[in-house]
Amino acid sequence: METAEMQTIILNEIESRQLLEDQNINLNKYAFTRTKEEAVNQARTMQFPLVMKVVSPVIVHKSDFGGVQVGLKTVEEVEQAYDRIYENAARKGVLRNEIEGVVVQEMIEGVQEILVGIKRDPIFGPVLVIGIGGIFVELFKDVQLGICPLTEEDVSKMIEGLKGFPLLNGFRGRKQADVNALISLSQKVSAMAMENEQIVEMDLNPVILKENGYGAVAVDARIVLKQ
Ligand code: ADP
Ligand code: MG
């Protein structure tokens, strides 16, 4: 008898980024490295401050493993962060050979972190999820859902429907976030899920929204594919 159980694979940040790049989804500059020397060499080609993250098939939520080091301002800090990532993982029981490497990437400063995702529903197909990032998602579940495909106006309404929308819209003297860039990025994500039947789930968390006119950048990505 056939089972309804679906075989899926979870792509790591690097593999997920490659699919997103094919769709011209805006990412920060990054490089995958396998040694400390390589990490330093790549760091020298980037605009500081930098972020370094662990890449491992046994680690999904990298920060839970001390695997995300942000705000690295010098080459020396890059070297220290590299060691720290391996030490933190070891302390959590991850073996050295379970770590594929470390991604070095530019740190993005913005107005607000946003979650943009896809969940494929067996009946409705790809459903776009947009939420206010950080504690808003975790604590207040402030998300909006929309069945793909979605027009610019549909996505715009989803964003305006967020309880935290004022955070993007200049609330109490905050900078205005680039909502148009978020709309365009969300539409690319929705198109990607419509085109690629294999995509079961996508999580761009966070997408960092910069000040209005300066864009939106995905700095973390996780894609789940059906095999
Ligand atoms: P994970 O979700 O697997 O724990 P992330 O890559 O999302 O790892 O990193 C955790 C947090 O670190 C993010 O939610 C974000 O706040 C911050 N962060 C990660 N990468 C960057 C970056 N390139 N620029 C700015 N902040 C970042
Ligand atoms: Mg994340």
Same-domain status, 195 and 126: yes
Q: Which helix (H) or strand (E) covers residue 101, if one does?
A: strand 101-106
The answer to whether residue 124 is domain-embedded is: yes
Nearest to 69 by CA among 92, 47, 86: 86
**13 and 123 share one domain:** yes
Identify which of 14, 68, 112, 223 to mutate to test ligand 1's pocket (most ligand atoms within 8 A of the CB): 68
Position 1 in a domain: no
Which pLDDT does position 143 carry in this prediction?
94
> Does 99 lie in the same domain as 37?
yes
Does residue 51 sit within a domain? yes
Residue 151 CA to ligand 2 center (angstroms) comes to 26
Name the pTM for this structure: 0.95
Burial of 203 (0-12, 13-18, 19+ CB in 10 A): buried
Q: State whether 133 and 210 are in the same domain.
A: yes
165 and 205 together in one domain = yes
Kindly identify the ligand whose nearest atom is closest to the C-alpha of 70.
1
Confidence at 3, pLDDT banded by 50, 70, 90: low
User: Is residue 3 in some structural domain?
Assistant: no
pLDDT for position 139: 79
The ligand minimizing its distance to the Cα of 218 is 1
Pair 165, 220 in one domain: yes
Q: How many CB atoms lie within 10 A of CB 80?
A: 14
pLDDT tens-digit series, residues 116-133:
999 999 999 999 999 998
Q: pLDDT for 139-195, tens place per residue?
A: 778 999 999 999 999 999 999 999 999 999 999 999 999 999 999 999 999 999 999
| DSSP 8-class letter at 30 | E
Neighbours of 95 (CB within 10 A): 10
Ligand 1 centroid to residue 188 C-alpha, Å: 21
Give me ligand 1 centre to Cα 122, in Å: 30
Which pLDDT score, from 0 to 100, does residue 6 have?
85
**What is the distance between the alpha carbons of residues 210 and 107, in angstroms, rounded to a whole number?**
12
Domain containing residue 125: CATH number:
3.30.470.20
* Rounded CA separation 211/214 (Å): 6
Within 8 A by CB and 6+ apart from 201, the residues are 117, 118, 119, 120, 222, 223, 224
Ligand nearest to the CA of 13: 1
Which of 87, 106, 125 marks a domain boundary? 106
CA-CA-CA-CA torsion for 69, 72, 78, 82, nearest 10 degrees?
A: -10
- List ligand 1's pocket residues with C-beta within 6 A: 28, 51, 53, 61-63, 68, 70, 105, 107-108, 113, 205-206, 219-220
pLDDT score, position 21 = 97
**pLDDT at residue 136, rounded to an integer:** 65
For the beta carbon of residue 155, count every other beta carbon within 10 angstroms. 24
Residue 220, domain member (yes or no): yes
2 inside domain: no
Supply the range of the domain harboring residue 187. Answer: 8-27+109-226
Q: Whose CA is nearest to atom 8 of ligand 1?
A: 62
Q: Which residues surround ligand 2, an ion (CB under 5 A)?
A: 205, 220
Nearest CA residue ID for atom 14, ligand 1: 206
State which of 86, 106, 126 marks the end of a domain.
Answer: 106
CA separation for the pair 221, 35 (Å, rounded): 22
Shared domain for 121 and 58, answered yes or no, is no
In terms of domains, do 78 and 115 share one? Answer: no
The answer as to whether 207 is a domain residue is yes
> Domain check: are 146 and 187 in the same one?
yes
Asked if 54 and 151 sit in the same domain, the reply is: no
pLDDT tens digits for 15-52? Answer: 999 999 999 999 999 999 999 999 999 999 999 999 99
If one counts the domains in the chain, the total is 2
- The alpha carbon of 93 and the centre of ligand 2 are apart by a number of angstroms equal to 21
| Ligand 1 centroid from CA 41, angstroms | 22
Distance from the alpha carbon of residue 166 to the mean position of ligand 1, in angstroms:
23
Question: What pLDDT does 4 receive?
Answer: 63
Q: Are residues 57 and 122 in the same domain?
A: no
Domain boundary, last residue among 106, 139, 158: 106
Q: List the CATH number of the domain containing 101.
A: 3.30.1490.20
pLDDT for 58-116, tens place per residue?
Answer: 999 999 999 999 999 999 999 999 999 999 999 999 999 999 999 999 999 999 999 99
Examine residue 192 and state whether it is found in any structural domain, yes or no.
yes
Same domain, 34 and 21: no
Residue with CA closest to ligand 1 atom 20 = 219
- What is the side-by-side order of every strand in the sheet holding 50-55? 30-33, 101-106, 50-55, 68-72
